[in-house]
Amino acid sequence: MSTALNTDGHDGPPAEAVAVMGIDGLPRGSVPDVTVKTLGVPKIASPMAPLLESRQTTEHYVDETDRVLLDDTLSGVIGRGLPVDQLPGLEPCGPRRKIFFDPSKTRAAIVTCGGLCPGLNDVIAGLVRNLTYHYKVRRVIGIQNGYQGSSPRTATTSSS
């Protein structure tokens, strides 16, 4: 198989095209807005509720008011000069008392891009176990080759 060589001496699109468009097809430097504005109020009791009943933070519980602080050092926090409730932070991941979707009616998809990633199989196995055993999700779908793999021809299914 041969590839055409561009006038700039490289395979692929001309350098001008790459400078204008990023590899994702969006104008270079632009960032798509993927923010989820709101899902509303979670109304469904979590199947993890028996593990969540004790108010202590464990691997089975995340308090809805918790935040993961952006600064990870005391000097960084002090340097901001802000009250604790105004420090920049992120919502932590983990199970909640109320959830948005009924797990018995939910399908989960795990998208991977292939390539070498030590430990990824353990992460995927843990995710599938939590979805099926703790949340009682009936169908978990594995999608290989990134978003290109979302074609029904290439998706693989694991049922519990």
Max CA separation in the chain (angstroms): 67
Segment 16-40, tens digit of pLDDT: 444 455 555 666 666 667 777 778 8
Contact by Cβ (8 Å): 144, 154:
yes
What is the structure's pLDDT at 79?
93
> pLDDT category, 45, cuts 50, 70, 90?
confident
Instruction: Yes or no: say if 112 and 142 are a contact pair by the CB < 8 Å rule.
Output: yes
Supply the pTM of this predicted model: 0.54
The average confidence (pLDDT) of the chain is 75
**The pLDDT value given to residue 35:** 75
Distance CA 149, CA 146 (A): 6
> What percentage of the chain has pLDDT greater than the value 70?
64
Write out pLDDT tens, residues 52-75: 665 555 565 677 778 888 888 999
The reported pLDDT for the residue numbered 32 is: 67
Q: What is the pLDDT of residue 151?
A: 63
